[in-house]
Amino acid sequence: MAMKKQASNNVFEKLGFPDNMTYGHRSSLRKECSRFLRFAYLVDFLSLEALANIYTGSVKAMIERIRDLDEGVNMDEVMNADYDDSNQAAGAGVRGQEPLFFVSIKLNDEHEIPASEIKQEEIELYDQKKSAVDEFDLLAHLELEPEKAEDEGSDMEDEEAEEVAPDPIYKKTVPNIEKFWLRMEPDQEDYIEVLMKTFSSGLENIKSFERWGKHNDLAPYAEALEEWDDIVGDTWDEPDNVKLDPKTWIQEDPLYTDQKDMVAGIINSSFSKMNTFLGRFQPILEIFWRNKQFDQQILMDERLSNPIESIGNTIRLFSHYQKMFSSQIPSTAGIGLIQLDSKSARTKIQPTPENYIKEINKFVPVVIAQRNATYQKWLKERVRELSVNVTNVSEFVQQTNFYNKTSDEFQNYRDRVDMLGQTYNVLSDYQLKVKKEDQESFKDTMGIISNLANIIQNVESAQEGNKESFKKQLNQ
């Protein structure tokens, strides 16, 4: 459509030319104006092409970079790396291949594990000489003997004479515990959304160049043309937005139309590797879960089967876990595209075995001291009762009753005190501390046992003589 001639004769003056130019000069000037307007459109064309290339090139470079990082990770190395404190740079990647994204691992150990996820795995009886340390199970191998009724003694002896197959022992396992207790923040949908927003923001940000074509600043060149002169475009009316928008140039490019699918594929692949890596936490979390169910009170229950071995096995197991947790729980790990940050989970889990040992060291000596005081009191009373000189029949009868009572129970108390001593030895073997006053009190108890044993022997030796002597006195 030809442009209407402007009514004003000052159009040439706006361009800096006199209004009284000859027809030839005006014709030449209009020709140059037309060429200049076509040049303005060419500039816009080249600019739009450049902006489109900048956008698609940036998107392509980003997608290729995250794809290379995702595909370039060696999962065998990551899964088998030593994550001890001194090796926490493992998996960080070489320079130029560092992860671009960061994911924090959150531990939610308060989340209740569904009953359907808890499995029962049959295990063998624990043999301290043959079994590995980690084959000892706190929930399965620490057992209490059944309570005995007073009239069950003879029946139990008959049962012991018969060979009875032990009941099977089962260990609790949670094969997928990491899926319930570990959460990734942010997750893959968050990163996909962020990348898409980044691409969209980038497209908006490159709309920073003002168009030349149909710009008001160039309107005087269009106004100088006559109706019959060539003009690019139907009109020279300035649009509402004077910024160049390259969307029309890229709207059919796969880097624009398919970019979300491309990004989602890479991010999902990377998070799939993350989920594989989280499988490394499964045995640690399962141990942590079982340990949380452990009640240390059982170690000093008087019905505990094989108490000395059980206490020693428990301390050994926690010592083993202490080393295991230190080397197998990462603080950080580079997994191709993503840098995993599990410091908070590691901080919560790693110290627990050592804390359990400290609790045992705090709890067991207190119970031993309390029992030692109880046993010592009983022993002292028996010493006092049996140390009385016998001068008459009444005193002889009383001493005989004391003697019979003491003889019936003395070996039981001696065994109990011996058990305390063995428990002290176990604590000593694992460098656990016991108060000096408790050790001294236990030594006193051992001395009292020795003294009482001698007294019992002396009373026993004098019994027959006293019996004959008082028998003669009664016959006279």
The DSSP string of 322-362 is HHHHHHHS-SEEEETTEEEE-HHHHHHHTTHHHHHHHHHHH
Structure tokens at 355: 């804390």
Domains of the chain: which residue ranges?
A: 11-75+187-266, 105-186+279-350, 358-475
Per-residue pLDDT for the chain (476 aa), expressed as one digit of tens each?
Answer: 344 444 445 777 777 787 777 778 878 888 888 888 888 888 888 988 999 999 999 999 999 999 999 999 999 888 888 777 655 544 445 555 688 899 999 999 999 999 999 999 999 999 988 999 999 999 999 999 888 765 555 454 555 545 666 788 999 999 999 999 999 999 999 999 999 999 999 999 988 888 877 777 777 777 777 777 776 666 666 777 788 889 888 999 999 999 999 999 999 999 999 999 998 899 999 999 999 999 999 999 999 999 999 999 999 999 999 999 988 888 888 999 999 999 999 999 999 999 999 999 999 999 999 999 999 999 999 999 888 887 787 777 788 888 889 889 999 999 999 999 999 999 999 999 999 999 999 999 999 999 999 998 888 887 777 666 766 666 65
d(CA 237, CA 131): 90
pTM of the model: 0.76
144: DSSP letter: B
Nearest CA among 281, 380, 399, 266 for reference residue 331: 281
pLDDT in tens, 365-402: 999 999 999 999 999 999 998 888 877 877 777 888 88
- In the CATH scheme, what architecture does the domain 358-475 have? Up-down Bundle (1.20)
pLDDT in tens, 271-302: 999 999 998 899 999 999 999 999 999 999 99
* CA contacts within 13 A on the Cβ side of 427: 23
What H or E segment, with its residue span, contains residue 284? helix 282-292
